[in-house]
């Protein structure tokens, strides 16, 4: 099975349609396929000035839908798997869903209730995927009582909104406070408790750029990269989601895999994970309750590495931070140019991108070049208030001996590390002198007994601590007696806080 990545929740609005080409080109850089989710809603005001979200005028929606249809057909003809889709909300009683189609010939429907939506497409290869399910019932939270697992084979339980898996864990839904807070009454776990066969994914719910790494993405396991195979994988619930960095995950019981239904009894369960950073633990959940904790931390840290041993490691490099817009209002965008050269092999590169303006090029067996763009904005005028820093980065996997050199060039700087040094600790490399020069130009010399003004406003590159292959790869196998009517799923935690949610294997009743 191929593991193919996408963002199933990229909402493009009517006023963004002139950016469709830009969205598509970015999606093609970071996604194996792309189901676009047109957003047919706008804010309107009543005579009294109250703000309401409602459908755009019908003629606008129809015009935009034809533009989307033309773009999807064009990309399909050029070999890129792209699907048509749109967001449906109805009257709010059943929760929000994104509707997608296998072919490119369907029209949008906007009935008030979920059952009507399902029936409108009963003779069509269509799916309706619920998202941010843990909001209040009747107020756009998921209504599991009306759910049809054939029309909606899985649910989005992590996005920019936060985590809808339950109301007892971390990652609360706090970004969109006007819709929250979350509740346990409608969360993903209630759907499983109702006996529904429903998988789980993560995706962005992003209205600015497709596939923002920090808002989550999903993986589908498919026989190949054709639209038909991808569609079959999604319909079969062969899906999982990650909160940030991508993980290669296999979860099987004998010849069945995530999303499948299996007969009760004893089965050989296998878990295989290759992550972007050190794996902390894997939680095997049975009916939403922890059945077994597979702890990976502590299994690799004390292993000795010989000086001449050839090893594989992964490490993340991030770019961002920089001048505070409260002091430097015109310094909101920064472009970076750099490269990585390895005395050994450059095995893989994962893109951890959140916005436009990123480029990876001239990739060879031991080097690559990149051009990055980072953005900064402030959300408050208070000098100690929060600011939004959009970071961009890569996960590099390299091979060499502990003393092999790794050279990272960033703008006019050149940093050299051995693999051994990279495994020792993380590091921050600041463009410190540039910050001093900027302060001198704008404010003159800033005299103070601390360097706050220079350090706080310096562009920075963070090189996260490298971890060996034993840290980011886990293989586990055991015989498990699977109970009739139960479901078994995985939650994977990395030491850096990233999470993966894997669709259950369901047991026949």
Q: Where are the domains of the chain?
A: 2-243, 311-469
**Residues ≥6 apart with Cβ < 8 Å to 88:** 96, 97, 98, 99, 109, 110, 117, 128
| DSSP E strand boundaries for 126-276 | 126-130, 154-159, 162-163, 199-202, 217-222, 239-242, 248-253, 256-257, 261-262, 265-274
**Residues ≥6 apart with Cβ < 8 Å to 456:** 324
Ordered strands of the 265-274 beta sheet: 256-257, 248-253, 265-274, 473-482
Which three-class secondary structure state does DSSP give residue 508?
coil
Instruction: Enter the DSSP assignment of 74.
Output: H
Helix H segments across 35-154? 58-77, 114-120
Q: What is the pLDDT of residue 326?
A: 85
- Nearest CA to 248 among 99, 170, 350, 323? 350
Q: How far apart are alpha carbons 462 and 316 in whole angstroms?
A: 8
Helix H segments across 361-477? 419-422, 432-443, 452-456, 469-472
CA angle 350/355/359 to nearest 5° reads 55
Please report, to the nearest 10 degrees, the dihedral formed by the alpha carbons of residues 67, 70, 71, 76 taken in order. 160
> What is the chain's pLDDT, residue by residue, as a tens digit (509 residues)?
999 999 999 999 999 999 999 999 999 999 999 999 999 999 999 889 999 999 999 999 999 999 999 999 999 999 999 999 999 999 999 999 999 999 999 999 999 999 999 999 999 999 999 999 999 999 999 999 999 999 999 999 999 999 999 999 989 999 888 899 999 999 999 999 999 999 999 999 989 999 999 999 999 999 999 999 999 999 999 999 999 999 999 999 999 999 999 999 999 999 999 999 999 999 999 999 999 999 999 999 999 999 999 999 999 999 999 998 889 988 989 999 999 999 999 999 999 999 999 999 999 999 999 999 999 875 555 554 555 678 999 999 999 999 999 999 999 999 999 999 999 999 999 999 999 999 999 999 999 999 999 999 999 999 999 999 999 999 999 999 999 999 999 999 999 999 999 999 999 99
Q: How far apart are alpha carbons 75 and 66 in whole angstroms?
A: 14
Q: What is the pLDDT of residue 95?
A: 98
Give me the CATH topology for the region 2-243: TIM Barrel (3.20.20)
For helices 58-77 and 20-30, the axis angle rounded to 10 degrees is: 40
Q: How far apart are alpha carbons 478 and 484 in whole angstroms?
A: 19
Instruction: Enter the DSSP assignment of 18.
Output: G
CB 313 within 8 A of CB 342: no
| Neighbouring C-alpha atoms within 13 Å toward the C-beta of 347 | 12
CA–centroid distance for 331 within its chain: 28
Reading the block at residue 174, the tokens are 């706090």
Q: What is the pLDDT of residue 381?
A: 52
The pTM score is 0.96
Q: How far apart are alpha carbons 396 and 360 in whole angstroms?
A: 12
Q: What is the pLDDT of residue 379?
A: 55
Instruction: Enter the DSSP assignment of 121.
Output: T
């Amino acid at each position: 099975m191929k593991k193919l990545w996408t963002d199933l929740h990229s909402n493009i609005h009517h006023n963004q349609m002139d950016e469709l080409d830009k969205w598509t080109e970015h999606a093609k850089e970071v996604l194996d396929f792309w189901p676009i989710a047109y957003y047919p809603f706008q804010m309107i005001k009543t005579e009294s000035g109250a703000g309401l979200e409602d459908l755009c005028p019908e003629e606008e929606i129809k015009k935009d839908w034809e533009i989307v249809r033309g773009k999807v057909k064009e990309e399909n003809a050029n070999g890129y798997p792209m699907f048509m889709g749109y967001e449906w909300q109805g009257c709010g009683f059943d929760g929000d869903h994104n509707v997608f189609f296998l072919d490119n010939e369907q029209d949008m429907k906007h009935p008030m209730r979920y059952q009507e939506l399902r029936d409108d497409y009963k003779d069509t290869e269509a799916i309706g995927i619920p998202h941010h399910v843990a909001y209040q019932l009747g107020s756009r939270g998921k209504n599991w009582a009306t759910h049809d697992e054939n029309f909606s084979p899985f649910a989005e339980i992590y996005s920019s909104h936060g985590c809808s898996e339950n109301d007892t864990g971390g990652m609360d839904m706090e970004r969109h406070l006007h819709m929250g807070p979350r509740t346990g009454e409608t969360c993903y776990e209630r759907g499983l408790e109702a006996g529904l066969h429903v998988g789980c994914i993560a995706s962005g719910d992003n209205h600015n750029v497709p596939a923002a790494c920090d808002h989550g993405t999903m993986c589908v396991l498919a026989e190949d990269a054709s639209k038909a195979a991808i569609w079959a994988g999604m319909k079969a619930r062969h899906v999982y989601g990650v909160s940030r960095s991508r993980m290669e995950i296999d979860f099987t019981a004998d010849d069945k895999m995530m999303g499948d239904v299996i007969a009760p009894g004893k089965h050989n369960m296998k878990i295989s994970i290759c992550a972007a950073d050190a794996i902390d633990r894997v939680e095997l959940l049975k009916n939403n309750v922890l059945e077994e904790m597979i702890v990976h931390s502590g299994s690799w840290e004390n292993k000795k590495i010989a000086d001449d041993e050839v090893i594989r490691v992964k490490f993340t490099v991030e770019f961002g931070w920089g001048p505070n817009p409260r002091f430097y209002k015109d310094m909101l965008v920064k472009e970076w140019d750099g490269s990585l050269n390895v005395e050994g092999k450059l095995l893989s590169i994962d893109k951890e991108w959140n916005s436009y303006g990123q480029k990876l090029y001239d990739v060879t067996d031991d080097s690559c070049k990149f051009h990055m763009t980072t953005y900064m904005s402030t959300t408050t005028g208070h000098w100690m208030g929060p600011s939004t820093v959009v970071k961009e980065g890569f996960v590099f996997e390299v091979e060499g001996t502990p003393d092999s050199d790794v050279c990272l060039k960033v703008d006019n700087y050149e940093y050299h590390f051995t693999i051994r040094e990279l495994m020792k600790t993380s590091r921050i490399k600041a463009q410190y002198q540039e910050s001093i020069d900027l302060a001198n130009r704008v404010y003159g010399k800033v005299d103070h007994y601390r360097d706050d003004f220079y350090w706080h406003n310096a562009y920075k590159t963070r090189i996260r601590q490298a971890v060996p292959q034993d840290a980011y790869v886990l293989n586990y196998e055991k015989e498990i007696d699977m109970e009739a009517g139960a479901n078994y799923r995985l939650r994977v935690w990395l030491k850096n806080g990233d999470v993966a949610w894997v669709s259950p294997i369901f047991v026949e009743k």
